[in-house]
């Protein structure tokens, strides 16, 4: 198939390799989204009588075939095609005849790729929110199950004050919950349709942009056509920033777990099937999953930076540089998806060693509590602080369980308010499920197929 822009010359082969790069491979991610958006566009053309009813149904039939082929991993995009948009138009022309030559009317690959990416990011953000909420759910459940198990609280990594396994685990659940809230809010921005913005400046055809937006289940049209194109990369950066926040939290959790599962501390352990061996040292069981969580977090952060670096100084309107934001989006998104998934598995199987935790609650852990108990009976804080500090050897340990239970102010180990937090996570999860149902319903109205997903993981 010739390129969509083919004229009377052949592109230099090195320039083709350089400019297409891996886009034709990456575009497999966008095939279903582009086919769905193309149905919405074809329906808009039919409303303007630029396609007949019969032509529209031929186009819809062809696009439905493409969706099914992609689902079976049989839709082919070759380097010569440049991208999925070309391969899709070529398929329609080959299989359905002349009508294939009409579907690009009033559209550019610029708004086409924007629309496909928008559908992709909207679904990804919702699914990532849902997946992260199921990790929160497990962390809250873990915190509830171990709410009464004492654990040394540390600052500067040194023994600091009494804490609990519940406090530790729920801190990550609450932090993730706040990152999910950002993802949930991002939907307002992602849920707008760039279709009809064409090359960046719209077209003289009276394309009903509201109609195509609602056909795809978008809440609204992204109004300004130039902005619709200029937001390429900008929205990707927002999605990757949300990924970055989630990864930052999980990297910290990984670091804590590497420390707390050290045999020398032994607070927790991971089962063998989540640990890896060494090729030379027969005794080794390594937490590679935790280490890679740390490095993946760095890669995800790098993906967000990559996208911003590419778009930072681009002039208005489409520029080919945008194409290079695609790989970073897909790589960062997939890494985040897998990261959350692996933590679901690790939290589910994390074993807690109460006796080790109790052993770690040494007398020094209670030095501040001893001071504050005396202050509560009327002594002056600074005086007692100094006296206890000068005679640390005399500090006697307190009852570990009583110490965590006596803390009653909100959010402390004796009053974690886990139920309220857990409930908030469940409510958000229900909202995400209904959003996904809404997208599914829109896809089904477009292509007549059930169980269509744009993001294939």
- The catalytic residues are 156, 278
Q: Are 54 and 96 in contact (CB under 8 A)?
A: no
Q: How far is the CB of 92 from ligand ARG (least distance, A)?
A: 17
Nearer to ligand ARG, 110 or 336 (CB): 110
Report the Cα 347 to chain-centroid distance in Å. 19
**Nearest distance in Å: CB 84, ligand ARG:** 8
Residues of this chain that bind ligand ARG (CB under 6 A): 23, 83, 109-110, 113, 318, 320, 322-323, 326
Distance CA(450)–CA(457), nearest Å, equals 17
276 DSSP assignment: B
Q: Looking at residue 320, what DSSP letter applies?
A: G
Q: Which residue has the tokens 């699914």?
A: 127
Token couple for 147: 């709410």
| Nearer residue to ligand ARG within complex by CB, 56 or 195 | 195
Closest C-alpha to 245, from 184, 331, 183: 183
Measured from the CB atom, the residue of 84 and 136 that comes closer to ligand ARG is 84
Beta-carbon contacts of residue 259 (< 8 Å; ≥ 6 apart) = 157, 265
Minimum CB separation of residue 83 from ligand ARG in Å reads 4
Minimum CB distance to ligand ARG, residue 148 (Å):
54
Would you call 221 helix, strand, or coil by DSSP? strand
Would you say 40 or 113 has its CB closer to ligand ARG?
113
Count CA atoms within 13 Å of residue 439 on its CB side. 27
Q: Which stretches of 72-164 are DSSP H helices? A: 84-96, 109-145
Q: Which is nearer to ligand ARG, 231 or 323 (CB)?
A: 323
Q: Write down the least CB distance from residue 138 to ligand ARG, Å.
A: 37
Angle at 452 between CA 113 and CA 430, to 5 degrees: 100
Dmax over Cα atoms in the chain, in whole Å? 94
């Amino acid at each position: 198939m010739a390129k969509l822009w083919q004229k009377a010359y052949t592109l230099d082969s090195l320039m083709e390799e350089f400019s297409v790069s891996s886009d034709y491979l990456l575009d497999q991610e966008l095939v279903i989204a582009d086919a769905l958006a193309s149905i919405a566009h074809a329906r808009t053309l039919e409303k303007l009588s630029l396609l007949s009813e019969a032509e529209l149904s031929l186009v819809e039939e062809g696009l439905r075939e493409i969706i099914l082929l992609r689902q079976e991993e049989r839709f082919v995009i070759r380097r010569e095609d440049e991208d999925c948009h070309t391969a899709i138009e070529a398929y329609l022309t080959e299989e359905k005849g002349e009508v294939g030559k009409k579907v690009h009317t009033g559209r550019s690959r610029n708004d086409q790729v924007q629309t496909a990416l928008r559908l992709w990011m909207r679904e990804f953000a919702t699914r990532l929110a849902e997946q992260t909420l199921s990790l929160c759910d497990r962390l809250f459940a873990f915190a509830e199950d171990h709410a009464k198990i004492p654990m040394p609280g540390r600052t500067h990594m040194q023994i600091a004050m009494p804490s609990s396994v519940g406090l530790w685990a729920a801190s990550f659940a609450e932090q993730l919950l706040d990152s999910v809230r950002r993802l949930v809010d991002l939907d307002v921005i992602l849920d707008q349709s760039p279709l009809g913005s064409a090359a960046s400046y719209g077209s003289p055809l009276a394309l009903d942009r509201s109609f195509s937006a609602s056909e795809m289940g978008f809440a609204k049209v992204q109004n300004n056509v130039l902005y619709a194109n200029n937001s390429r990369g900008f929205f990707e950066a927002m999605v990757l920033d949300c990924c970055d926040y989630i990864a930052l939290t999980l990297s910290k959790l990984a670091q804590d777990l590497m420390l707390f599962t050290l045999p020398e501390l032994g607070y927790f352990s991971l089962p063998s099937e989540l640990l890896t061996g060494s090729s030379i040292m027969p005794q080794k069981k390594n937490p590679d999953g935790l280490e890679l969580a740390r490095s993946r977090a760095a890669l995800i952060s790098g993906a967000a930076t990559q996208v911003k670096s590419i778009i930072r100084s681009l002039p208005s309107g489409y520029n080919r540089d945008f194409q290079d934001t695609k790989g970073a989006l897909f790589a960062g998104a997939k890494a985040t998806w897998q990261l959350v998934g692996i933590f679901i598995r690790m939290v589910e199987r994390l074993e807690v060693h109460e006796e080790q935790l109790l052993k770690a609650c040494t007398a020094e852990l209670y030095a501040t509590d001893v001071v504050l108990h005396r202050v509560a009976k009327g002594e002056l804080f600074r005086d007692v602080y100094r006296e206890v500090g000068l005679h640390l050897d005399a500090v006697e340990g307190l009852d570990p369980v009583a110490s965590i239970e006596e803390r009653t102010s909100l959010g402390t180990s004796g009053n974690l308010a886990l139920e309220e937090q857990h409930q908030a996570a469940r409510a958000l999860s229900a909202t995400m499920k209904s959003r996904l149902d809404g997208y599914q319903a829109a896809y089904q109205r477009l292509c007549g197929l059930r169980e269509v997903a744009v993001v294939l993981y």
